[in-house]
Structure 1
Amino acid sequence: MAVNLSTPNPADLRPVTGVRLGVAEAGIRKANRRDLTLIELAPGSRVAGVFTRNRFCAAPVQVCREHLAEGDIRALVINTGVANAGTGEQGVVDALQTCAAVGRLLGVGAQQVLPFSTGVILEPLPVERLIAALPAAQANLRGDGWFDAAHAIMTTDTVAKAVSRTVEVGGKTVTITGIGKGAGMIKPNMATMLGFVACDAALSQDLLNALVREAADLSFNSITVDGDTSTNDSFILIATGKAGHAEIAEPVGADWAALREAVIDVAVRLAQAIVRDGEGATKFMSIVVQGGTDREECRKVAYAVAHSPLVKTAFFASDPNLGRILAAIGYAGIDDLDVSRLKVWLGNPDESVLVAEHGGRAASYREEAGARIMAQSELTVRIDLARGQAAATVWTCDFSYDYVKINADYRS
């Protein structure tokens, strides 16, 4: 059961001018389920992306990088069920064949298509079944296809993930809509997640490239479920330029600030939805680290806490065994950390308990107060390093019995 996350209302998902989406049943891994998504982009759309840093990156990731470098992307094709990773040269051939088939169908070049896959690693992509289902996906193309697409890219997700926002830019209404998938094998440097966010704003390619990196850093690269970095992670940002305002080419002014904030907000909400839907999750946790010398130092500490299986299992059990948090901070890799100055609080901003200070347990701390807060479904761990002004936040979830069950039975 996802933590305070429900299926999005289709009426809340706004079409983005210049984007059409269609889904189909291709039988990639299981019969009678939507597992193929086709996204068509209007001419003149600009696309940017960031991808996994896993050296064993999947064939579609390799092809996406090459095609993005050439520019002028007109379509995306996404399959679930099989990741097309660990598939060698044949995997690249299959990804390229998929792009060629989409190109023929839509009347664009194969290099103008970006392929994406998610699912089981080390299994060949059934490319014939995928290609055979493309005409059905094309027939379903429509501007309001976001809800169906959010479902068609799911694997172990229990809830579809989709978000829309609107913002005024240059006197015009700009729509931003995004979908994402992911529930396990989630760690920064992308996770086993796919994220697709489109807007009808007009942005220069350089600005779009910068925005996708910043949005990823503040969202998908600030989450973890289990510390595993996937082979297929991809986050794509699309700007169709169809809203009707003048192109924004520089990161200055109120219009840019409003658009930037809205795009990042959509990415953050999708990223948090992935954590809320973490495999077997019962708790949503924000690890807030402040007082660092720089942001990277704060992230290092936050991830040490967020990745710790001992911390995550304690939160699942609502067991205030909070020395585990101190242990994780201690091995985060800050060699000159003065633990006597560090403070740790447990709880949300409106109800927090000081747990540790002066190098040990806070005199005011009572275990029953910690247990009461840990029983909540959403909570915050706040850590002050007392070393500087930098801060960072990482979102994570607990480890439950179901996490093991889900991953033990993943291929069945």
Structure 2
Amino acid sequence: MTESSRPSAADDALDGVSPPPPRPPFDGTTWREIGYLLANFPAGVAAFVVLVVWLVLGIGLSVTVIGLPLLAAGLTACRWYGRLERARARALLGVRVEEPSRLRPRERGFLPWLWMRVKDPVAWRHALFAFVRLPWAVLTFTVVLASLFVGWPALPWVARWLSNADRAMVRGLLSPSDELERRIAELESDRVTVTDTAAADLRRIERDLHDGAQARLVALAMGLGLAKEKLLEGRADASVAAMVDEAHGEVKLALQELRDLARGIHPAILTDRGLGPALASLAGRCTVPATTAVDLDERPAPAIEGIAYFTVSELLQNVSKHSAARRASVEVWRARDRLLIQVVDDGKGGARLDGGSGMAGLAERLGSVDGLFVLDSPAGGPTRVTAELPWRARTEAGTPHRGPGSRGR
């Protein structure tokens, strides 16, 4: 099982960490480094003066009403300063540093916003960068300026050494603090995906109720009303019996639509019997002959079961609609703390994440719960989709639940 569908975060993190490779003494990169080092002095002095005055005033007046808001404003400015320095380093030094996640208060109101700003670790790290940079900016400006007039042959190597120190400083103080910071950004993105998905599901349920069962029940009520009027007026004839018979048929159709809708929300067979029988039921309704093999010793959390069920459901629908396959298979098993799903068909292949078949939506949904989605579909087939989900076993009074049908083929 590979994770080829995801970009390598390790490769991004290591990009540019080592010193630049050997190059001609005076090339474009060298001149950009010299320009960056000379610009350090005016940029460093301006940042130091503005931020120090702002932060010192905020800290000094923190016992007053305006102190903390002034401090929060200064820390907000620190974030903007960090963004400008990252852009300057990216343009002149080729250092690509990820942007920190945006601040999002958990509660509304001025005080939560104020407290969130004052304790922002990213802004304090940027303020530290401004403090540290001033003496370094004076040193680099002096050394580079002297080399321009006195030590011209050594200037490229001096610029390279000094700019490497700047690169390390930018990565150390202006990048997201650690993996946790990056994880927060991912979770914020995933939260948007989950919210959008939930809203779309609610709209679908509302539309299905309005256009399906509700419309049938309205027609049923009207038909029964007409039959009732005829019976009360003593005009009972064959037409009344036909109306009642039609109403009976509408009731059965409405009940079937409600069952289908309930199955789309959360199927009863999944709740009662587990993934084995639930996926076997899905395979039985697929227009392409499909087999299932579910090998689980216990049941995962209900939310994970539901995601696994609807992932297989959508994949089998794609097999039915787009694959032109003769057969398909579904396998589900557990590997340590991961639930793995593999759906294979012998169809024409050529499926893509951006192909309009819902694959991209599935990948986003799985990613929102820390899952993986890998698609392998060469032209001519076969198509193999592998999905991974966190296990997160359900517990009852601290004991893992072993439901019926958890292991099945």
Relative to the length of structure 2, the TM-score reads: 0.25
Which structure has greater helix proportion?
A: 2
Q: More relative contact order in 1 or in 2 (CA 8 Å, sep 6+)?
A: 1
Give 1 or 2: higher strand fraction. Answer: 1
Q: Which entry has the higher C-alpha Rg, 1 or 2?
A: 2
What TM-score comes out, normalization by structure 1 length?
A: 0.25
